[in-house]
């Protein structure tokens, strides 16, 4: 699988997000295949950058290809990949990973045996990979990160984002269709029955 370079992220967050489904995401050799992400655009009221630059979200306003790590509900860490030209303040939230490398370390950190729950949620991903504020603003194309583009074709599911109260109807959540490692299943596409 080819390494993902900085230019990969210098595109619309809505193009990058589905392209990340199936990509390999390792942190210090621990991680797996990205199976769920969400796109956050600077014009989107649900984005941290919508209200302007703060100390917390400053990385979002910088160049693409860097990690934006924030504290969620005062408890968990969540990791984003900054996208688009510098100043656009858009990013992709990594919501779920299929655990493939470093399973024992992930199980220890999470206090769990069940592989399905190791990285099924943005807070869980950061706990399993041990990503914290210390890794905010680090480049994604250098250690301790290792990102590799998917090679084969994948079927990408699309749906509304989770856990937000603003702009709830935008279909900006992307997932690997049929994966059992999602934080929540995607509602099947198609009209209402009957």
Which positions touch DNA (CB under 7 A)? 38, 40, 46-49, 51-52, 54-57, 60, 68, 70-76, 78, 80, 91, 93, 110, 117, 121-125, 161-166, 183
The least CB distance from residue 131 to DNA, in Å, is 12
Toward DNA, which CB reaches closer, 99 or 121? 121
The least CB distance from residue 75 to DNA, in Å, is 5
The least CB distance from residue 2 to DNA, in Å, is 26
Toward DNA, which CB reaches closer, 28 or 109? 109
The least CB distance from residue 174 to DNA, in Å, is 13
For the chain, the C-alpha Rg in angstroms (whole number) is 16
Q: What is the C-alpha to C-alpha distance for residues 178 and 91, in angstroms, rounded to an integer?
A: 25
81 and 92 in contact (C-beta within 8 Å)? yes
| Ramachandran angles phi, psi of 64, nearest 5° | -70, 160
Q: What is the C-alpha to C-alpha distance for residues 78 and 127, in angstroms, rounded to an integer?
A: 9
27 and 144 in contact (C-beta within 8 Å)? yes
Toward DNA, which CB reaches closer, 19 or 90? 90
Q: What is the C-alpha to C-alpha distance for residues 53 and 117, in angstroms, rounded to an integer?
A: 34
Toward DNA, which CB reaches closer, 89 or 157? 89
Toward DNA, which CB reaches closer, 3 or 182? 182
Q: What is the C-alpha to C-alpha distance for residues 31 and 106, in angstroms, rounded to an integer?
A: 8
188 by DSSP, 3-state: which? coil
Q: Within 13 A of 64's CA, how many CA atoms are on the CB side? A: 20
25: number of Cβ within 10 Å: 27
The least CB distance from residue 149 to DNA, in Å, is 21
Toward DNA, which CB reaches closer, 23 or 125? 125
The least CB distance from residue 153 to DNA, in Å, is 27
């Amino acid at each position: 699988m080819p390494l993902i370079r900085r230019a990969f992220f210098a595109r619309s967050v809505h193009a990058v997000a589905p392209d990340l489904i199936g990509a390999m995401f390792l942190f210090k050799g621990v991680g797996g295949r990205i199976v769920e992400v969400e796109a956050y655009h600077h014009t989107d009221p649900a984005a941290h950058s919508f209200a302007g630059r703060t100390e917390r979200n400053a990385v979002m306003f910088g160049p693409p290809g860097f990690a934006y790590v924030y504290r969620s509900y005062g408890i968990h860490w969540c990791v984003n990949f900054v996208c688009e030209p510098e100043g656009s303040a858009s990013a992709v939230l990594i919501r779920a990973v299929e655990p493939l490398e470093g399973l024992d370390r992930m199980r220890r950190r999470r206090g769990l045996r069940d592989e399905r729950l190791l990285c099924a949620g943005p807070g869980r991903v950061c706990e399993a990979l041990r990503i914290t504020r210390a890794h905010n603003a680090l480049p994604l194309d250098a250690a301790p990160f290792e990102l590799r583009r998917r090679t084969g074709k994948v079927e990408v599911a699309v749906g509304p984002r989770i856990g937000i109260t603003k702009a709830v109807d935008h279909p900006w959540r992307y997932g690997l269709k049929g994966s059992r490692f999602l934080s929540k299943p995607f509602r099947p596409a198609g009209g209402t029955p009957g």
